[in-house]
Amino acid sequence: MKALVLGGDGFCGWPTSLHLAAEGYAVTIADNLSRRAIAAQLGAPSLTPIRPIEERITAAKRVGDVEFAPLDVTDPVALQALLARLTPDVIVHFAEQRSAPYSMLGDAERRFTVANNVNGTNTLFSALVELGQRPHVVHLGTMGVYGYSDDLGELQEGYLDVRVAQTGRDVTIGYPANPGSIYHLTKCLDHTLMQFYAKNWGFQITDLHQGIVWGTDTAITGSDEALINRFDYDGEYGTVLNRLVSQAAIGHPLTVYGTGGQSRAFIHISDTARCVHLATGAPPEPGSKVQVFNQVAEVHNVGALAQMIADRMEAKVTHLDNPRKEAAANALRVSNAGLRSLGFAPHTLQDSLMDEIAATVGRYQDRLNRDVILSKARW
Ligand code: NAD
Ligand code: USQ
C-alpha cells in the first residue's frame, strides 16, 4: 500500500508517517516546511532539536520505506505532478496551519490560515478529479468544529439524529458547525468542501475530528535522536497540557486562561498515530457521505488539569484574563465509538507520560525561550 502523507514533517504527521512505514506502507512525506519557518519567525523553534528534513528521512529509512517530496499543497501543478507519479492508495492530509491563536493574531494570519487550509484541501481534491484518481483520503479535522458543549447531548460523530419540528419527521443532519477561531472555521469549511467532493465525484473520505494532542514522542520517534518529534510550548503553538507540564518543569506559573472551567477532549500523540493507521484501513463505502470519527481518548477540565499538575510538580497556578472568546465553563461528553469499533484502546492521562514530557523539557530547557511563553493573540 502506498501512502502519501501531506504535512508529514509536523508534530502529528511525523510520528504517524513513521508508524505507517513500520506497519508496511510505502510512505511519501510531502511538506513545504512552513511550520518550521513560522516557528523561526515567532522566535519559538521546536524545543526538541528536530533534525533537518534530509537527516530525518535518512534515519526514517531504518524504520521502513519512507521518502520526502518538497511540496506546497496549494500549488496545483506540483501537486498533480506528485500524484501522477505516486498514484497513492491512501492520502493522509495533515498539511494545514493548525494554531487557533496564530490564526487570530491579525489580518495577515487570518488570511494566510484560510488561504492555506481551505485552498489546500480544495486543490487536493480538484487535482484528484483531474487525474481520475480515487484514493481514500483521511483528513485531520478538529473537535472544535462542534463547539464545546453538551447542549445537544454527547457529541456524536459528525451527524445528529433530529426530529423536524415542522413535519415531525426523524432525519439525520450534519452536526451544526460552531467554530471558535479562524483556524477552527477552516476545518468547518474543509468539511463542507469534502462533503461536496464525496457527493459529486464519489470520493471515499474520512474526517478525523481530533481533540488536543499531548505528549512528546512515540516508541518509534523516541528510539533514535535523529527521529525526535517536534515539541511546542509557546503561547501560539503549544497546546494546553504540554504547556502546563513544561511550565511546571521550568518553575513558571501555570497559565490558566479565565476560570479554568473549560473542558476539552485530549489524545496522546502515540494514539494519534495508531488511530490514523486504523482509519486508513477502514474507508467508508463508495458513494457514502464523509465518514467522521471523533479521534479523542478522554475529556478533561483545564483548571483541574492545572491543579493536578501543580500538586504533582510543586508548581503554582496563575489565572490570566482569558485572551480568547470562549465559554468560561462548559460540560463536554464525546463519543469515540467509531475508532473503538476498529480496535482503538485509548491511552489515558498517566503519570509516566507526563513525566516523559517533564524529562524532555528538562533535557532541552537551554533551548527554551521564556519570552514566547505568553500568547500574543487576542480574540
Ligand atoms: P504542525 O503544524 O506541526 O504540522 C503541520 C505540517 O503541515 C507542518 O509540517 C507544515 O509545514 C505542513 N504544512 C502546512 N501547510 C502546508 C502546505 N500548504 N503545503 C505543505 N505542507 C504544509 O501541526 P500538527 O499538530 O502536526 O497538526 C497536524 C494536523 O492535525 C493539522 O491539520 C491540525 O489541524 C490537526 N490537529 C492537530 C491537533 C493538535 O493538537 N496538534 C489536534 C487536532 C487536529
Ligand atoms: N488554555 C489555557 N492556558 C493555556 C493555553 C490554553 O487555559 O496556556 C485553554 C484555552 O483557553 C482553551 C484550552 O485551554 O480553552 C485549549 O487550548 P489549546 O491551545 O490547547 O487548544 P486549541 O487552541 O483548541 O487548539 C488545539 C490545536 C488545534 C486542534 C485543537 C483540538 O492547536 O490544532 O484542532 O486543539 S480541539 O481543541 O479539540 O478543537
* pLDDT number for residue 135: 98
Does residue 43 surpass a pLDDT of 90? Answer: yes
What does the pLDDT average to over 109-128? Answer: 98
Tell me how far the alpha carbon of residue 212 lies from the centroid of ligand 2, in angstroms: 6
| Residue 183 annotated as catalytic | yes
64-90 pLDDT tens trace: 999 999 999 999 999 999 999 999 999
Q: What is the mean pLDDT of residues 32-52?
A: 98
Q: Which three cell numbers stand for residue 145?
A: 468544529
Q: What pLDDT, on a 0 to 100 scale, did the predictor assign at position 351?
A: 82
Select which of 25, 48, 187, 257 is catalytic. 187
pLDDT of residue 133: 98
Is there a contact between 11 and 230 (Cβ–Cβ < 8 Å)? yes
From 102, 183, 197, 257, the catalytic residue: 183
Nearest-angstrom CA–CA distance, 143 and 184: 9
Using CB atoms within 10 Å of the CB of residue 362, give its burial: 0 to 12 exposed, 13 to 18 middle, 19+ buried: exposed
Q: Which domains, and CATH codes, for the chain?
A: 2-372 (3.40.50.720)
Q: Determine the pLDDT at residue 353.
A: 81
pLDDT in tens, 279-333: 999 999 999 999 999 999 999 999 999 999 999 999 999 999 999 999 999 999 9
**pLDDT, position 178:** 97
Cα separations in angstroms, 201 against 47, 69, 130, 161, 198: 43, 27, 11, 26, 6
Question: pLDDT digits over 250-266, tens only?
Answer: 999 999 999 999 999 99
Mean pLDDT of the chain: 97
Q: Is 184 exposed, middle or buried (0-12, 13-18, 19+ CB in 10 A)?
A: buried
Mind listing the pLDDT tens digit for each residue in 336-376?
Answer: 999 999 999 999 998 888 899 999 999 999 999 999 999 99
pLDDT at 354: 87
Distance 295 CA to ligand 1 centre (A): 15
- In angstroms, rounded to a whole number, what is the distance separating the alpha carbons of residues 17 and 246? 26
Choose the residue to mutate in 42, 79, 98 for probing ligand 1, maximizing ligand atoms within 8 Å of C-beta.
98
Q: Which pLDDT value is given to residue 352?
A: 83
Contacts 24+ apart (CB under 8 A), 217-222: 217/15, 217/269, 217/356, 217/360, 218/15, 218/18, 218/19, 218/269, 218/270, 218/273, 219/270, 220/15, 220/18, 220/19, 220/22, 220/63, 221/14, 221/15, 221/18
Comparing C-alpha atoms, which of 344, 196, 197, 201 is closest to residue 267? Answer: 344
Q: What distance in Å separates the CA atoms of residue 34 and residue 210, rounded to the nearest whole number?
A: 21
| Confidence class for position 92, pLDDT limits 50, 70, 90 | very high
What is the Å distance from ligand 2's center to 243 Cα?
10
- The number of angstroms, rounded, from the C-alpha of 156 to the middle of its chain's C-alpha atoms is 19
Output the CA angle 82-35-348, nearest 5 degrees: 100
- For the Cβ of 46 lying below 6 angstroms from any atom of ligand 1, the answer is no
Residue-wise pLDDT tens digits, 192-240: 999 999 999 999 999 999 999 999 999 999 999 999 999 999 999 999 9
